[in-house]
């Protein structure tokens, strides 16, 4: 029997994977994908809670999250492409054009 | 199944609707006006958006004069009370000033795309909606309407890798904070059964949900999302890089608009919901406030880049504001509203000053570039002195009054230790503000040059006058802030 708790735990695991991916991966595109995982885990949580509460507003929220996620991906990919066109960088560690305190 | 149409009062949203319509019209016509080969194209867009902002501001005032204390519409998602009208006025002023200081700047830096101004307009609409949102759903959507144009604007200048890097950093961290925010919203929804802030408050009053780990985790995630947008420690890492990489007018717009808008939604969340849950979150926010003040001020000491210096200074100012948020009383919220007004005017003045001294394709961003300017441009230097004194909190400027009321409100609520730390931190801040001042009046580096940038000069003068006015006669605006804060309670 699959209960609400199972969905919530699954969503939490997906969220953790997404968070971990953003923090550890170095490729710009993979970081973007990890962020999408985080947003999708929120979707799953919303739908699971909405089903168990018998409330519709929790079903509406994920639709908006998906729309916004699509917009974010569009902008994010555009930014990544312009970076790659200018500097052939696809690794986040290459993005060091600014330094905090100029030493020496 | 019967479908009930929610009551929709479009008139309450008239300022936002005007801005959206104008922005979409500009989107349609900007290829005709602001193409690669036209010279005046972007300027037309700037003037059109200024007119739209003025219209929105006037309508905003009219809604405030209407006498109706509160309009709640869109199924409880949007509330137009005096609090949201105050914040709408603030972000409209911020956007209008940012557009005025852009006029000369975009000529100097070869920005020809007409999209520049309409992205500012879209972002302004998001900020305005954010102040009016009373539902986690509308807060989330307006947060994104505000942020996505800013991601683009930060990376707007061509062939500038610093801008690209800043844009990507802001985008990826902003997206992560959005993810954290919506996950928190989902958890709060599951625990309280609704996403409406007022309904969450009812659920909290009905049963002590704040012992519920799901609610605790959810509200912690929501707070983290807000803290990211207002750049409080430990979510501040993006601020110096993004401020440095972005164009100066955009830095000005971000440093005031985004912060004010995010704070408006944060204040609403705190006053509606968190204040009910007792002291569970006070310790965490106190730690954040102390860390923000200490780190912001001490990191600013070592900066020689002015954009980074003011980025850290803005982080420090968020720290002072958070102290009043912890108190969360009527007078504390009123003092935050008043403080934000001063902060916005002063910061816009400072960035207008930096734009005034920017040369072609070369922003005035190093502290050495200011050396000796005080002798060749004494009036501008005096204005800059007023802004710096205001940020440091020295009378008779507005910054002093703002800090005074902020700290009084915090002491009244019994947060004396936090105020003592804040006073020490703002004492430290005097050092780096005066360092800028010293370099303006450095001897022997007299530079004679003719600078013509009437737009930036105008903004500098207006901001300087308002800063002094708020410091000498703050009465009217304090009353206004009190009235607006009262509508939340």
Over residues B393-449, the pLDDT tens digits come to: 888 899 999 999 999 999 999 999 999 999 999 999 999 999 999 888 887 766 667
Please tell me the pTM assigned to this model: 0.93
Are the Cβ atoms of B195 and A31 closer than 8 angstroms?
A: no
What is the rounded average pLDDT of the residues B53-63?
Answer: 90
| Nearest alpha-carbon partner for B147 in B162, B130, B164 | B130
| Nearest alpha-carbon partner for B357 in B245, B451, B444, B448 | B451
Interface of B with A (CB under 8 A): 136-137, 140-141, 144, 148, 151-152, 155, 159, 161-162, 164-169, 171-172, 175-176, 178-180, 182-183, 185-187, 189-190, 193-195, 240-241, 244-245, 302-305, 308
**Angle subtended by helix axes B213-229 and B136-154, to nearest 10:** 30
Contact at 8 Å (CB) between B136 and B189? yes
Residue B462 lies in a domain: yes
**Structure-model confidence comparison of residues B43 and B260, the more confident one:** B260
Residue B237 lies in a domain: no
Over residues B90-107, the pLDDT tens digits come to: 999 999 999 999 988 888
Which residues in B315-353 are b (16+ Cβ under 10 Å) and which e?
bbbbbbbbbbbbbbbebbbbbbbbbbbbbbbbbbbbbbb
DSSP B5: P
Residue B101 lies in a domain: no
Residue B89 lies in a domain: no
Q: Which of A15, A23, A46 to mutate to test the interface with B (most CBs of B within 10 A)?
A: A46
Q: What confidence score (pLDDT) does residue A103 get? A: 41
Contact at 8 Å (CB) between B94 and B260? yes
**Domain hosting residue B390, numbered range:** 287-489
Are the Cβ atoms of B141 and A64 closer than 8 angstroms?
A: yes
Residue B161 has pLDDT above 70, yes or no: yes
Are the Cβ atoms of B144 and A65 closer than 8 angstroms?
A: no
CA distance A73 to chain B (A): 9
Residue B322 lies in a domain: yes
CA B281 and chain centroid, separation: 24
Residue B301 has which token pair?
Answer: 């000491």
Mean pLDDT of chain A: 88
Are the Cβ atoms of B137 and A64 closer than 8 angstroms?
A: yes
ipTM: 0.94
CA distance A83 to chain B (A): 6
Q: Which of B122, B183, B306 to mutate to test the interface with A (most CBs of A within 10 A)?
A: B183
CA distances from B433 to B306, B365, B378, B429 (A): 10, 15, 18, 6
Over residues B280-320, the pLDDT tens digits come to: 788 999 999 999 999 999 999 988 889 999 999 999 999 99
CA distance B92 to chain A (A): 24
Residue B445 lies in a domain: yes
The count of domains in chain B is 1
Element (H, E) at B449: none
Q: Which of A100, A102, A103, A104 to mutate to test the interface with B (most CBs of B within 10 A)?
A: A100
Q: Which domains does chain A have, with CATH numbers?
A: 4-103 (1.10.287.3510)
Contact at 8 Å (CB) between B167 and B241? no
Residue B114 lies in a domain: no
């Amino acid at each position: 029997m699959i209960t609400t708790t199972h969905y919530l735990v699954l969503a939490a695991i997906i969220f953790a994977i997404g968070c971990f991916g953003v923090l550890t991966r170095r490729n710009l595109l993979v970081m973007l994908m990890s962020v999408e995982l985080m947003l999708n885990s929120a979707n799953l949580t919303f739908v699971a809670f909405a089903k168990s509460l018998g409330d519709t507003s929790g079903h509406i929220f994920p639709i908006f999250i998906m729309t916004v996620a699509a917009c974010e991906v569009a902008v994010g990919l555009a930014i990544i492409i312009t970076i790659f066109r200018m500097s052939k960088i696809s690794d986040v560690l290459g993005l060091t054009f600014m330094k905090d305190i100029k030493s020496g | 199944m019967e479908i009930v149409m929610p009551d929709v009062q479009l008139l309450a949203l008239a300022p936002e609707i005007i801005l959206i319509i104008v922005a979409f019209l500009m989107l349609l016509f900007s290829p005709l006006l602001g193409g690669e080969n036209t010279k005046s194209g972007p300027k037309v867009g700037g003037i059109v958006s200024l007119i739209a902002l003025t219209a929105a501001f006037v309508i905003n005032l009219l809604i405030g004069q209407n006498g109706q204390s509160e309009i709640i519409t869109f199924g409880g998602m949007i509330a137009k009370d005096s609090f949201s009208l105050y914040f709408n006025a603030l972000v409209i002023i911020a956007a209008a000033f940012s557009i005025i200081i852009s006029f000369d700047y975009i000529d100097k830096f070869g920005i020809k795309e007409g999209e520049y101004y309409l992205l500012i307009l879209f972002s302004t609409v998001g900020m305005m909606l954010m102040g009016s949102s009373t539902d986690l759903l509308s807060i989330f959507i307006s947060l994104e309407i505000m942020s996505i144009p800013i991601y683009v604007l930060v990376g707007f200048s061509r062939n500038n890798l610093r801008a690209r890097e800043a844009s990507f950093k802001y985008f990826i961290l902003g997206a992560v904070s959005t993810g954290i925010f919506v996950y928190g919203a989902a958890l709060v929804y599951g625990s309280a059964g609704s996403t409406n802030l007022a309904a969450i408050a009812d659920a909290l009053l009905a049963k002590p949900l704040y012992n519920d780990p799901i609610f605790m985790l959810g509200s912690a995630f929501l707070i983290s999302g807000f803290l990211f947008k207002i750049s409080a420690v430990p979510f501040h890492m993006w601020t110096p890089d993004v401020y440095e990489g972005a164009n100066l007018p955009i830095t000005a717009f971000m440093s005031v608009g985004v912060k004010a808008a995010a704070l408006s939604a944060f204040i609403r969340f705190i006053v509606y919901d968190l204040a009910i849950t007792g002291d569970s979150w006070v310790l965490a926010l106190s730690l954040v406030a102390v860390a923000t003040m200490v780190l912001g001020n001490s990191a600013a000491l070592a900066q020689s880049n002015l954009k980074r210096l003011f980025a850290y200074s803005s982080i420090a100012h968020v720290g002072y504001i958070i102290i009043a948020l912890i108190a969360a009383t009527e007078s504390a919220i009123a003092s935050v509203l008043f403080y934000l007004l001063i902060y916005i005017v002063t910061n816009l003045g400072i960035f207008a000053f930096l734009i005034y001294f920017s040369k072609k394709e070369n922003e005035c961003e190093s502290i050495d570039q200011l050396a000796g300017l005080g002798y060749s441009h004494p009036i501008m230097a005096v204005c800059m002195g007023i802004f710096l004194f205001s940020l440091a909190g020295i009378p008779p400027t507005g910054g002093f009054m703002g800090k005074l009321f902020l700290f009084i409100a915090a002491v009244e609520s019994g947060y004396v230790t936090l105020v003592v730390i804040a006073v020490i931190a703002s004492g430290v801040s005097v050092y780096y503000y005066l360092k800028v001042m010293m370099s303006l009046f450095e001897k022997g580096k007299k530079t004679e040059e003719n600078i013509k940038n009437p737009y930036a000069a105008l903004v500098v003068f207006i901001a300087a006058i308002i800063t002094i006015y708020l410091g000498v006669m703050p009465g009217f605006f304090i009353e206004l802030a009190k009235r607006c804060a009262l509508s939340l309670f």
